[in-house]
Structure 1
Amino acid sequence: MIGKLDLYRIFHVVSRNKSFSKAAEELYMTQSAVSQAISKLEKELEVQLFYRTPKGVVLTNEGKLLHDPITSALAMVNAAEHKILDVKRLKTGELRIGVGDTISRYFLLPYLEEFHAKYPGIKLKILNGTTSDILGFIRSGAADVGICNLPVQDDQLQVIPCKEIHDTFVCGEKYKELSQKTIQLKHLIELPLLFLEKPTISRMYVERFFKKKGHSLSPMFELGSHDLLVDFAKANLGISCVIREFVEEPLQRGVLFELTLEEEIPSRRIGIVYLKSVPLSRAAEKFVGSIEQHL
């Protein structure tokens, strides 16, 4: 079938033009080459497809039987080729991104806005979850790329570190005086602490830091989102462990206050992750590149 495709294309053009010479002009072929192609197709099908007349060519009954299905099939092939071309030009397609609420809001949105403005035909599908969920989306093929908290240790995944972030502790007006002095870790753990629920990367990272320093954490509240940690701190319900880069606005407005620790928690990063073994789609490749160029 694949070998006959070019022959069927020539057959279609000849039947539409009712002339070998006109078909040759449209196909940028010699009339002899067109005639030889039709003869080859007739030989392979073992039927005559055209009657040759002084005024041109006319389809035989067998040719008429072939004409409509071939016209329909070639139209489908052409439509498929145009769709592939649109995908290559990013006029259509889908980009599936695994990301959490906080990173989506404070890091990803500007990149999504820029990408959508440049490639409005690409459908964006956002899969929400924790870092563990996101890695599961990628491994299962449900997401093309993930944007999540690092570190991520997995030899199957390509990891591209992006934004540097810092875990810190903030409070509301009630505990404001704490922000005016340096706090030792042993004193910090005695305060009413607010943390994300286990087993988030952010929670585990900070816990490992405290454990290395000989301290264990016993939070008063364990909350499901970074925004809730901010809201609870504003409401004077305790000292929240948050990401400094994501609370810059309330810190500047003076509704939150940052504590200075005697030993600062080492910085970490947000990063892009995707499977090494699966080539990125055209859309995913462009999206990753758009973030990398800003790094």
Structure 2
Amino acid sequence: MDINFELYKVFYHAAKSNSFSDAAAKLHVSQSAISQSIKNLEDKTGSQLFFRKTREIKLTSEGELLFKHIEQAYNFIKTAESKLLESQNLESGEIRIGVSDTICKYYLIDPIDRFIKKHPKVKIQVINRTSHQIQDILKEGIIDFGIVTLPIHIKGITIENYKSVEDIFVASNKFIELKGRQISLKELSKYPLLMLDRNSSTRRNIDSFLQKKGLNLLPEIELESIDLLLEFARIGLGIAHVLKESADFLIDKNELFEVRLKEKLTLRKLGIITMKNVPLSRTSYEFINFLMDKD
């Protein structure tokens, strides 16, 4: 089918807003022009794309299928336009980053703050997702790059090692008998444990380490937030497995202490991922260099 891209553009905005009038306002044309464009597209595709009511429109199943692909293509096109409009002196541009909330809080906020102070006209959008979800939205063109827990094995994605981070076990004085001495993982397994959800990269990392040791720690509580794990540990509900930096403040306040292990946990590696065949914008390239201390 030889279909004018403008028809797809009209379709995208109408489907995105569920309104012909909103699409008309966005594209600065009349509502009748929008209706006619959609009619032309339906004729060319041989499919009804919208259910039309008096004031509302809704995608048909064929419309949903088309929108899924058009949205992805539109995201890539808008990214390309944004890259072309960027100036060489970083006086404009946008950076879209996919990262988990924990990594963002402890490793990204400070670099973002320093980068924006140097380049105040650059816009930075942060999208919080799990490592697995970040891979998905990278492939869909929603972000420029992501920061994830390694390893990952996905075709078409370039991986650059970013940094290693340390996870530790922490407890409140309810478990004072553990303070100041080293214990084995086998002894630790006898205590109530607080860990991230088993689908998280952090949890998979520790589970893999334990399996190599022939152990399987079953947590008392599983959560999706490290901040909640820390709060539950602080009130004595168990011993939490968390990112070291996340616990430093509570350790300094003597509200928690690190549970020392005889078996040293392996460091968790973070990586910066990009699409192999999609060039980075200059702003994203410069920000990644900034993160890697290449600036």
TM-score of the pair, normalised by structure 1? 0.68
Distance, in Å, in 2 between the alignment partners of 1:262 and 1:106 is 27
Aligned partner of residue 143 in structure 2, secondary structure: coil
Q: Percent identity?
A: 36
Distance, in Å, in 2 between the alignment partners of 1:151 and 1:199 is 15
Distance, in Å, in 2 between the alignment partners of 1:229 and 1:294 is 35
Aligned partner of residue 180 in structure 1, secondary structure: coil
Could you say if the C-alpha distance between residues 91 and 294 of structure 1 is closer, same or farther in structure 2, counting changes exceeding 3 Å?
closer
Distance, in Å, in 2 between the alignment partners of 1:199 and 1:86 is 38
Aligned partner of residue 97 in structure 2, secondary structure: strand
Residue deviations 1:104-139 (CA, integer Å, cap 9, x gap):
110001111111111211221111111111111111
* Partner residue in 1 for 2:293: 293
* Contact 1:229–1:240 (8 Å) recurs in 2: yes
Distance, in Å, in 2 between the alignment partners of 1:211 and 1:85 is 50
The equivalences for 1:42-121 within 5 A come to 86-121=86-121
Q: Which amino acid aligns with 2:277?
A: S
* Partner residue in 1 for 2:144: 144
1:149 is displaced (CA, Å) by 1.9
Residues 1:158 and 2:161 aligned together: no
Q: Which amino acid aligns with 2:102?
A: T
1:209 is displaced (CA, Å) by 1.1
Q: Which amino acid aligns with 1:253?
A: K
* Contact 2:85–2:93 (8 Å) recurs in 1: no
Distance, in Å, in 2 between the alignment partners of 1:105 and 1:191 is 29
* Contact 1:151–1:268 (8 Å) recurs in 2: no
The equivalences for 1:13-28 within 5 A come to none
Q: Which amino acid aligns with 2:258?
A: E
Residues 1:187 and 2:187 aligned together: yes
1:245 is displaced (CA, Å) by 2.9
1:162 is displaced (CA, Å) by 2.2
1:271 is displaced (CA, Å) by 2.3
* Contact 2:194–2:239 (8 Å) recurs in 1: yes
* Partner residue in 1 for 2:202: 202
Q: Which amino acid aligns with 1:133?
A: Q
Distance, in Å, in 2 between the alignment partners of 1:84 and 1:199 is 38
Any gaps of 5 or more consecutive residues in structure 1? 1-82
* Partner residue in 1 for 2:275: 275
1:192 is displaced (CA, Å) by 0.3
1:84 is displaced (CA, Å) by 5.1
Any gaps of 5 or more consecutive residues in structure 2? 1-82
Q: Which amino acid aligns with 2:134?
A: I
Distance, in Å, in 2 between the alignment partners of 1:133 and 1:194 is 23
1:294 is displaced (CA, Å) by 6.1
- Runs of 4+ residues over 3 Å off in structure 1: 83-86
Residue deviations 1:22-61 (CA, integer Å, cap 9, x gap):
xxxxxxxxxxxxxxxxxxxxxxxxxxxxxxxxxxxxxxxx
TM-score of the pair, normalised by structure 2? 0.68
Could you say if the C-alpha distance between residues 84 and 275 of structure 1 is closer, same or farther in structure 2, counting changes exceeding 3 Å?
closer
Find the structure with the greater CA-based Rg.
1
* Partner residue in 2 for 1:178: 178
Distance, in Å, in 2 between the alignment partners of 1:84 and 1:267 is 40
After TM superposition, the structure 1 stretch with the greater mean CA deviation from structure 2, 114-123 or 149-158, is 149-158
Could you say if the C-alpha distance between residues 282 and 144 of structure 1 is closer, same or farther in structure 2, counting changes exceeding 3 Å?
same
Aligned partner of residue 217 in structure 1, secondary structure: coil
1:85 is displaced (CA, Å) by 6.5
